């Protein structure tokens, strides 16, 4: 045997199922601290875990069943067996995104990194779809409108209210209100968001109100990007299919009545 004594490796204690505990997951303030489920594990291993849920669990509306919300555990209370979370993004399902784009329409997509008033940075992916195929000048102008409206909201809102605008469709409605004057739109959706940066000590914020101010954007229209008057008035008619008229028989009835009227009246005598 060698003179050097062999170092004994420290024994690692195996973690069994009995050592783990169940922790309740609680959503942030913007979702009213609603519990969304439970996870099992140790206090050290639960930190940083990601949980997905549907917006349908909060609103109970069937239209929100395609929207997935993502949360990350940022604090564990071992005494109360609860985990507080932070919103880190959302995403629509693939089949829902495919259903937005119809045949013969234009897809206008933009990806932006936006920093809110309190220093949170989000990466948003927004898609607008047109009724028919739009011209290149119209697409460029609509993309500019999308960028300016989202930047204006990010400068004036805290991250809690910014999240509410993303999830509940306020930003989409504001974009569609302005962009439809350039070309008729079938939809405008923020299909994906991701939390990129969190400032130090920026998680303790007050719950904002639910009202949003209307954002006005100056749009410089050119002749090519201006929508035609006929398309602006008859937007609904562009989406309707032409149906064949079914033959009717009013003329035969009229002829019959005319023949009856031309007959001389018979004397009652």
Among residues 88, 77, 79, 66, the alpha carbon closest in space to that of 191 is found at 66
Q: Which domain, by its residues, includes 56?
A: 21-92
8 A C-beta contact, residue 160 and residue 207: yes
Could you tell me if residue 148 is inside a domain? yes
The reply to whether 217 and 98 lie within a common domain is yes
Q: What CA–CA distance (Å, rounded) separates 120 from 136? A: 34
Could you tell me if residue 254 is inside a domain? no
The reply to whether 38 and 105 lie within a common domain is no
The reply to whether 200 and 130 lie within a common domain is yes
Could you tell me if residue 122 is inside a domain? yes
Q: Confidence class of residue 145 from pLDDT cuts 50, 70 and 90?
A: very high
Supply the CATH number for residue 142's domain.
Answer: 3.30.479.30
Could you tell me if residue 10 is inside a domain? no
Q: What CA–CA distance (Å, rounded) separates 230 from 238? A: 10
Q: Are strands 185-197 and 67-77 parallel, antiparallel or unpaired?
A: unpaired
Q: What CA–CA distance (Å, rounded) separates 101 from 107? A: 7
Mean pLDDT of 224-253: 44
pLDDT at residue 140 greater than cutoff 70 = yes
Could you tell me if residue 194 is inside a domain? yes
The reply to whether 170 and 84 lie within a common domain is no
Contacts of 29 (CB under 8 A, 6+ apart): 160, 205, 207
Q: How many domains does the chain have?
A: 2
Q: What CA–CA distance (Å, rounded) separates 209 from 202? A: 18
Indicate the residue among 92, 113, 138 that finishes a domain: 92
The reply to whether 72 and 189 lie within a common domain is no
The reply to whether 105 and 38 lie within a common domain is no
Residue 24's beta-bridge partner residues? 38, 82
Task: Return the DSSP state at 203.
Answer: S
Could you tell me if residue 157 is inside a domain? yes
Indicate the residue among 92, 117, 134 that finishes a domain: 92
Contacts of 65 (CB under 8 A, 6+ apart): 54, 55, 56
pLDDT at residue 259 greater than cutoff 80 = no
The reply to whether 42 and 122 lie within a common domain is no
Indicate the residue among 196, 212, 230 that finishes a domain: 230
pLDDT tens digit sequence for 14-70: 777 777 889 999 999 889 899 998 998 887 888 889 999 999 999 999 989 999 999
Could you tell me if residue 243 is inside a domain? no
The reply to whether 193 and 72 lie within a common domain is no
Could you tell me if residue 12 is inside a domain? no
């Amino acid at each position: 045997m060698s003179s050097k004594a062999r170092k004994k490796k420290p024994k690692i204690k195996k973690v069994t199922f009995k050592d783990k505990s169940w922790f309740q997951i609680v959503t942030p303030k913007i979702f009213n601290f609603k519990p969304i489920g439970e996870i099992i594990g140790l206090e050290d291993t639960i930190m940083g875990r990601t949980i997905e849920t549907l917006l349908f669990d909060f609103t109970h509306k069937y239209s929100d069943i395609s929207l997935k919300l993502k949360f990350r555990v940022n604090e564990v209370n071992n005494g109360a067996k609860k985990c507080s979370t932070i919103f880190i993004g959302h995403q629509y399902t693939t089949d829902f995104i495919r259903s937005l784009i119809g045949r013969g329409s234009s897809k206008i997509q933009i990806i932006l990194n936006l920093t809110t008033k309190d220093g949170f940075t989000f990466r948003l992916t927004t898609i607008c779809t047109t009724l028919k195929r739009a011209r290149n000048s119209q697409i460029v102008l609509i993309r500019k409108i999308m960028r300016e409206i989202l930047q204006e909201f990010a400068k004036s809102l805290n991250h809690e209210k910014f999240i509410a605008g993303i999830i509940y469709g306020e930003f989409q409605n504001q974009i569609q209100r302005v962009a439809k004057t350039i070309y008729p739109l079938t939809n405008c959706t923020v299909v994906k968001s991701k939390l990129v940066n969190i400032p130090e000590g920026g998680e303790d914020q007050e719950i904002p109100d639910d009202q949003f101010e209307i954002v006005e954007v100056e749009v410089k229209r050119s002749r090519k990007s201006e929508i035609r008057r006929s398309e602006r008035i008859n937007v609904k008619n562009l989406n309707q299919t032409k149906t064949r008229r079914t033959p009717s028989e009013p003329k035969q009835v009229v002829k019959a009545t005319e023949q009856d009227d031309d007959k001389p009246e018979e004397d009652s005598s």
